Amino acid sequence: MNITQINNSQENNQYKPSFKNGQLMSNIFMAVDKHVILGVSAIDLGSMVIPRTTIDFTRNKQAGIETAFRESSSTATHAAIGVAGLGAASLLALMLRCKNYGVDFKKITANADNLEGMAKVFKSVIDENKNISDKDELAKKFLDKIFEDVKGLSGNSELQDGKPIWSALKQESQNIAGETINTKNNIVEILLNEQKNNKSFRIPAAALDRLQVYLNMDIPSTQMLKVKLADKVVTTEGVHLLEDAYSLTKSFTQDKVLKSFKEATDVSKVNFVQDLKKLSLRKTVLGLAAICAVALSMQTFNRHMTKKRTGLDGFVGDPNYGRNHHEDCHKEHNVNKDGLFVPLKILSMLAMGFFIYKTINASSLKDLASKLQFKGNLPTMNQIKLVYGSTILGRLFAAKDKNELRESTFRDFLGYTNFLVLGALVTKCFVNWKDKSLINYEATGDKKGIKSLFNWLQNST
């Protein structure tokens, strides 16, 4: 198998956008866009954990300690979403061992759309080549079809009739030096070689990096790709496309799985595909249920630890906290806990729940399940929205009186908006100001007014 090697000069000649102030800033913003948890953690630390803790220490020592735990535990919970998904996958994979597929299920991170699309492509390859029994040949034909129609946005710097251009992955490409690179062939050959040389169902990081370089030769940004898979076009990220192509090629060519594809009359009859789809759904439900349960309980646990340290059970932000506790503080808490307290708490929690659902932008419960799927080892923004929202619901539930409920409602609703809307807005506006070519955007819906801004914020990468 002949693979065109990429030397250092070729790599340096590929599309590497940079800010005027240096490559470092460009790399930082591209890393944040690629790994959303990095941006989320940075915003959380800089705009909530540090300033809120600092301010609450000026109230009293216990308020500062409780706030430090409350805010930092929220950041840790977001970072642990991927761990929860991996744990759920490992647990569920044990249930499928008895079927002896010869597949390491916990290493497969394909979502339902990519799985179904690629399964249909593989089934068509099997049906069109019934006389071929060689696994390597079937794998090559499968991968050729996967990368037959892959497109990505070229960026704001390239427009045609006012609309962004979709760049297609080509059979051959030329770098700035004029050297011809067999882009598509090299991607397929690297994947095939990795299949043979690695037993793992997860592609090695070094190979994944090489593959992304080839993708970037034709497609400047691979954060949003449109891939034709059988009878549908799926939207995915470049890294997920490569990971899924590797893991599913290796899975589909296992003896028992390959036999089931050949015997089935339709993809829906392939037991392995149906088992993998069920595992993906159950992993999402189990993993997110576990991490959301932790998020919901964090503030209650935090309050318990405060009470254990101080012997006091009340709102640490109360000006009278710790002073004449058995008289003034207890009396004020009783006044605040009037008949409206519980209804207001329920109303605040319902409003927050509705806010979470709207920011995820799901059109139905089925769409909600689809948008919350795990799409790799790191959490998606929609998963972070759900878990952070659960954290806020836990804070509202743990409120002891109307003062704490009011403070938590205003603080955390604004925090949620800052965390998930303003942070992304500032980042994208800054990047757009420095180098418009780094922003990919295809206009949908309203193109004027405030709705245009929200469309840009939601649909740009």
pLDDT per residue as tens digits for the range 315-325: 887 777 766 55
Taking only the tens place, the pLDDT of each residue in 278-314 is 888 888 999 999 999 999 999 999 988 988 888 887 7
The answer, yes or no, to whether residue 228 has pLDDT greater than 60, is yes
pLDDT, tens digit, for every residue of 174-225? 666 667 778 888 899 999 999 888 889 999 989 998 898 888 888 877 778 8
Give the rounded distance of the alpha carbon of 199 from its chain centre: 27
In contact, 394 and 74? CB cutoff 8 Å: no
For residue 442, what pLDDT is reported? 53
pLDDT band at 167 (very low <50, low <70, confident <90, very high): confident
The model's confidence at residue 427, banded by pLDDT at 50, 70 and 90, is low
Phi, psi of 167 (to 5 degrees): -90, 135
> Which of 97-101, 168-172, 310-314, 335-339 shows the lowest per-residue confidence on average (mean pLDDT)?
335-339
Residue with the bigger pLDDT between 351 and 2: it is 351
With 0-12 / 13-18 / 19 or more C-beta atoms within 10 angstroms meaning exposed / middle / buried, residue 153 is: buried
Mean pLDDT of the chain: 79
Q: Which residue has the higher pLDDT, 131 or 428?
A: 131
15 near 217, Cβ under 8 Å?
A: yes
Residue type for position 266: D
Which pLDDT belongs to residue 20?
45
pTM here is 0.76
Task: List C-alpha distances in Å: 269 to 140, 266, 345, 347.
Answer: 24, 5, 49, 47
From 37-46, 74-83, 365-374, 437-446, the region with the lowest mean pLDDT? 437-446
Nearest CA-CA partner of 457 in 446, 434, 445, 441: 441
Residues 6+ apart with CB under 8 A from 315: 321, 333, 399, 400, 401, 403, 404
Q: In whole angstroms, how large is the CA radius of gyration of the chain?
A: 26
Three-class SS of residue 97?
helix
User: Cα-flanking dihedrals φ and ψ of residue 175, to 5°?
Assistant: -85, 180
pLDDT at 145 over 90: yes
Mean pLDDT, range 258-266, rounded to an integer: 90
Q: % helix / strand / coil in the chain, to the nearest 5? A: 65, 5, 25
